[in-house]
A = this chain, B = another copy of it.
Amino acid sequence: MTSKDFSIRDGEQAVKLPEKTDAGVYFIGRIRTPWKDRKDCPKNARESDAVCTVELDPRWAKGLKEVEKCSHIILLYWMDKAPRNLVLQVPRHYGEPRGTFALRSPARPNPIALSVVRLLKVEGDTLSVVGLDCLDGTPMIDLKPYFASTDSVPEAIVGWHKRD
């Protein structure tokens, strides 16, 4: 992925970024996937059966205690190659401008991506998961247990999106 993948298209709009950030994040690990180039990443993570690996920095490994009891987890990761100043974007598959916050595009003020993944196993500081679509080497910033009671909303609707 190079910055030219993110050149501004007709209908897109950027803003001036604030002069400084307000808080700092630690990269706590790396995500290993089979995809080395953005064009190879799956279009929909649910359509991929690829087993990916999350390598947590050993510093944090004890934080995994009992994570193996979760069938699904939420991964937050940092899309560090995306521009942060776009407020309107024209995704290729929609063809018209939408607000950044109506999209899951990596281009956003804070380039944090979120994936719900199925957990296969935990070994030491490494997790095997299914359901990712990101580039190999993507920095991870958090992982959390997925609670169906608060995180699952099967009836949720996004107006322009075809229902499965």
Which chain A residues have a beta carbon within 8 Å of chain B's beta carbons?
13, 15-18, 20-28, 44-46, 59-67, 69-74, 76, 78, 80, 84, 87-88, 97-104, 108-110, 112, 114-116, 139, 141-161, 163-164
Residues of chain B lying within 8 A (CB to CB) of residue A116: 150-151, 153
Q: Tell me if A's interface is mostly helix, strand, loop or mixed.
A: mixed
A128 to B112, CA, bound (A): 23
Among B18, B100, B157, contact of A26 (Cβ-Cβ < 8 Å): B18
Among B18, B98, B101, B104, contact of A147 (Cβ-Cβ < 8 Å): B104
Residues of chain B lying within 8 A (CB to CB) of residue A65: 88, 97-99, 102
Residues of chain B lying within 8 A (CB to CB) of residue A80: 23
